[in-house]
């Protein structure tokens, strides 16, 4: 059995880990695309993104992985917004 043969099971396990471990990240979508897996969504910090990627590589090792995880900036703006 190859990594691609067990992809659905491994994706489900990654979803469970993202929801239940300390990271508790529910805003990340995980989809099988062909023989690979895509992760996308918005995360709260770069540390959170790194942890998600670590878990994904741990669970999905051997599958092509594409990540489009955007870090939301929660700090105050440095200058006022100019409206025209």
Please state, in angstroms and rounded to a whole number, the distance separating the CA atoms of residues 17 and 39: 14
Contacts of residue 68, Cβ cutoff 8 Å, sequence gap at least 6: 38, 39, 40
Residue range(s) defining the domain that contains residue 19:
4-71
Helix (H) or strand (E) holding 18: helix 7-20
pLDDT (0 to 100) of residue 11:
94
The answer to whether residue 83 sits within a structural domain is: no
Residue 20 within any structural domain of the chain: yes
Instruction: Let me know if residue 46 belongs to a domain.
Output: yes
Banded pLDDT at 2 (limits 50, 70, 90): low
| 40 domain residue, yes or no | yes
In a domain? residue 84 = no
Residue 18 lies in a domain: yes
Please state whether the predicted TM-score (pTM) of the whole model is above 0.85.
no
Q: Is 40 helix (H, G, I), strand (E, B) or coil?
A: strand
Determine the longest span between alpha carbons in the chain, in angstroms.
60
What pLDDT score does 45 carry? Answer: 87
Domain tally, the chain:
1
CATH code of 28's domain:
3.30.1340.30
Say if residues 51 and 23 touch (Cβ distance below 8 Å): yes
pLDDT tens-digit series, residues 7-59:
899 999 999 998 887 777 778 899 999 889 999 999 888 888 999 999 999 99
Q: Read off the tokens for 29.
A: 């979508």
Structural domain includes residue 31 = yes
């Amino acid at each position: 059995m190859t990594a691609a043969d067990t992809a659905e099971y491994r994706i489900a396990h990654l979803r469970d880990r993202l929801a239940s471990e300390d990271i508790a990240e529910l805003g990340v979508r995980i989809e099988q695309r062909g023989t690979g897996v895509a992760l996308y969504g918005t995360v709260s910090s770069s540390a959170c993104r790194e942890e998600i990627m670590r878990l994904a590589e741990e669970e999905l090792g051997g599958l092509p992985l594409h990540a489009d995880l955007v870090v939301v900036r929660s700090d105050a703006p440095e200058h006022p917004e100019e409206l025209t």
